[in-house]
């Protein structure tokens, strides 16, 4: 409660007191009783009532977020040229009054949800895209009255600017912007661009009508039942395609794994075969080297071969029969003694 309201309350109470005293005086006069003592009090109460009521009516207090347009009969156009700023002001009682306007930020919401929008029921914006699809948009416009142009706003719209400016401007801008985009663009890559296009258009239009737009929000985008069903089917098909692609990729990986395993086994076999071949070559080289050494040793000591031959014979062998006409491969050592001649 501001000081003007307090003074008006005091004036109203004094007015009631004056009426009460006046009734009392009339009652006493009807009973032939003197009312001289009440006369000064009654006059004083009347003066207090008139004075406080007048002062209270002339004082106007504006909150920090309020500006006021003074409507007066004392100027040709019917209003003061400068709006009242926040604080306490004086106007001519009973002749001038103040139309208050809030300059705080306000939100106007158009939504399909009943409890969210400024209008009860489904208040979403129906619009058609460039490719003929119908969509439903929930949106909010955050705005404020321009205090520097409050007088002009009052002249043009007075208190009807929300219904006559903010709402139609926003809905028209949304429909116009949506018609420039395809439905696929709106739901994917161009949503931010769409929101900016709508915001720029609303901001310019509200600015022409003494209103400052702070922000614009697309709260939700819905589609017709037919399109929503088509999108759902498309998503299912894409998921199935992705699943099939995953299976194919998995099979490719399994085939590649099997190929690499086979390649590893083949490489292992090649390495093993090469190792065996290298081992045989080394063994053959060693054998050849040994044969060379043996040959050199036999050339230096041929008796070694005879000795080895004898060593391989069975123990106790004294006689060897050889087919007639064949020679011994190796000369045999003489293992028997010559026969003795008997005495004559």
User: Would you state the pLDDT for residue 21?
Assistant: 77
Q: CA nearest 140: which of 207, 66, 189, 195?
A: 195
User: Would you state the pLDDT for residue 340?
Assistant: 46
pLDDT digits (tens, 9 = 90+) for 210-221: 999 999 999 998
pLDDT digits (tens, 9 = 90+) for 237-251: 666 777 778 778 888
Q: Where are the domains of the chain?
A: 3-102, 106-229
User: Would you state the pLDDT for residue 201?
Assistant: 95
Look up the pTM and report it.
0.58
Q: How far is Cα 288 from Cα 285, in angstroms, rounded to an integer?
A: 5
Q: How far is Cα 208 from Cα 169, in angstroms, rounded to an integer?
A: 11
User: Would you state the pLDDT for residue 42?
Assistant: 79
CATH H superfamily, domain 106-229: Band 7 domain (3.30.479.30)
Report residue 331 as tokens.
Answer: 């000369």
Among 7-11, 167-171, 270-274, name the most confident range. 167-171
By residue count, the chain amounts to 344
The answer to whether 187 touches 221, Cβ cutoff 8 Å, is: yes
Question: Does residue 55 carry a pLDDT above 90?
Answer: no
Cross-strand bridge partners of residue 100: 68
Taken in order 100, 106, 110, 115, is the CA torsion positive or negative? Answer: negative
Q: How far is Cα 157 from Cα 164, in angstroms, rounded to an integer?
A: 8
pLDDT digits (tens, 9 = 90+) for 304-341: 766 666 666 656 666 655 566 655 555 555 544 444 44
Question: Does residue 209 carry a pLDDT above 60?
Answer: yes
Q: How far is Cα 190 from Cα 59, in angstroms, rounded to an integer?
A: 54
Question: Does residue 88 carry a pLDDT above 50?
Answer: yes
Burial label, 169 (beta-carbon count in 10 A; 0-12, 13-18, 19+): buried
Phi/psi of residue 304, each to 5°? -60, -40
Q: CA nearest 218: which of 325, 324, 297, 142?
A: 142
pLDDT digits (tens, 9 = 90+) for 144-200: 999 999 999 999 998 899 999 999 999 999 999 999 998 888 887 888 999 999 999
The answer to whether 221 touches 186, Cβ cutoff 8 Å, is: yes
Phi/psi of residue 86, each to 5°? -55, 140
């Amino acid at each position: 409660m501001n000081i003007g309201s307090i003074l008006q309350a005091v004036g109203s109470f004094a007015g009631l007191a004056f009426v009460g005293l006046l009734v009392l005086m009339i009652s006493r006069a009807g009973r032939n009783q003197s009312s001289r003592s009440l006369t000064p009090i009654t006059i004083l109460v009347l003066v207090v009532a008139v004075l406080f009521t007048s002062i209270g009516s002339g004082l106007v207090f504006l909150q920090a977020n309020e500006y006021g347009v003074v409507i007066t009969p004392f100027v040709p156009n019917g209003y003061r040229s400068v709006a009242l700023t926040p604080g306490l002001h004086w106007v001519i009682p009973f002749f001038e009054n103040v139309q208050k306007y809030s300059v705080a930020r306000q939100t106007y919401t158009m939504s399909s949800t009943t409890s969210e929008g400024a209008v009860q029921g489904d208040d979403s914006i129906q619009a058609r895209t460039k490719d003929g699809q119908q969509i439903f948009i929930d949106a909010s416009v955050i705005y404020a009255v321009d205090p520097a142009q409050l007088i002009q706003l009052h002249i043009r719209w007075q208190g009807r600017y929300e219904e006559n400016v903010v709402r139609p401007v926003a809905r028209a801008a949304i429909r116009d912007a949506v018609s420039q985009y395809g439905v696929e663009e709106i739901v994917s890559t161009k949503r931010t661009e769409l929101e900016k296009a709508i915001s720029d258009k609303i901001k310019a239009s509200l600015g022409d009508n003494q209103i400052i737009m702070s922000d614009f929000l697309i709260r939700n985008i819905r589609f017709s039942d037919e399109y929503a069903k088509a999108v759902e089917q498309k998503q299912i098909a894409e998921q199935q395609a992705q699943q099939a692609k995953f299976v194919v990729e998995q099979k490719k990986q399994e085939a590649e794994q099997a190929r690499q395993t086979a390649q590893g086994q083949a490489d292992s076999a090649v390495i093993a075969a090469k190792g065996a071949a290298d081992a045989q070559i080394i063994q053959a080289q060693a054998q050849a080297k040994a044969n060379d050494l043996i040959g050199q040793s036999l050339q230096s000591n041929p008796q070694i071969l005879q000795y080895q031959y004898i060593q391989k014979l069975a123990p106790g062998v004294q006689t060897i029969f050889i087919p007639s006409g064949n020679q011994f491969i190796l000369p045999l050592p003489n293992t028997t003694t010559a026969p003795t001649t008997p005495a004559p």
